[in-house]
Amino acid sequence: MNLKDKVRSIQSTKKQPAILVIGDLMIDHYIWGNATRLSPEAPVPIVNVKNESSTLGGAGNVVQNLVALGATVTVAGVIGDDATGLQLIEILENEGVKTNTIIKDSARPTTIKTRVLAGRHQLVRVDREITDPLSADLENELAEKLTSVIDKADIIIFSDYNKGLFAPALTQRLIKIAAVHHKQVIVDPKGFNYEKYKGAFLIKPNRKELAEAAKTESIKNIDELQEAAKTVFAQTETAYLVVTLSEEGMAILTPESSKLLSVKATEVFDVTGAGDTVIAAITYFLALGFTVEEACDLANHAAAIVIRHVGSATTTIDEIIKDMEI
């Protein structure tokens, strides 16, 4: 059975894998307008606002990708005790996502990124956030809530945006809870410290993130990629590294092997959110019993679909099947 037929066969069963996303939650706020003149106060454009919109950002974008694929999703993380946090919960619940493992921290705001655009041109981004690690009390509360939820999940995603949730001690604590329940952890990493992900099944950095983690200036070819990967394998003992390479596709690496998957996209309009689509698709198909290589091949198709759209986008199984026929 070829991969396309295998996807169709799984699709016909209507199985919905239960996926737990633990991650940095945020709102992406967009202010759209026109700019036809400069301010007399400073050499900056004056934006005449025409529209505003808000959507899930960070780990929330991973969640939306999973929902679009057909997963049953529970999301865990930390938000502020504020109006933005309530808005975030409302959007998630409207998507049918379970939110009972999201906790509120009165000491920090819910992260919100506001982008001001004139036409298609982004003029400025304003971030409201606190990225300090959680208090010990909040770490304990989150870990205790997650213990039973992890047991019910088929697979777990850590969506790390470096906003303070994945402090080393808590990250290791959650990986160990997952190990007790024999659950695979898939990591979308951030920052320089990959040792905190020790014990994860698969880690998915992009080329720049891998170079930073391996403390090398850049990665220009497969030999340098393999050399950088050695550092991360030594730090994490992960089974797989999947490295996204933008227009070059992605690489699947183990301590003993490597394989390049060429990019599937014929047109590229916007790569925003493509990494979230990749991690969601890999995890979704792993949860359905596909191999890592099969899951990555399908994620490659999913990424090709979303980068044909402007802004963060999602895709469906039907669209992936159709893309495989092109």
d(CA 262, CA 252): 11
Q: Residue 109: which of 131, 76, 124, 89 has the closest Cα?
A: 131
For residue 286, report the phi and psi dihedrals to the nearest 5 degrees.
-65, -40
| Three-state SS at 60 | helix
Q: Is 276 a catalytic residue?
A: yes
**Do 159 and 276 meet the contact criterion of CB atoms below 8 Å apart?**
yes
- Give Rg (Cα) of the chain: 20
Catalytic site residue from 24, 160, 276, 323: 276
Query: Cα dist. 217→41, 207, 224, 227, 243 in Å?
Result: 41, 11, 10, 12, 16
For residue 78, report the phi and psi dihedrals to the nearest 5 degrees.
-130, 135
d(CA 283, CA 19): 8
d(CA 211, CA 254): 17
Residues carrying an active site annotation: 276
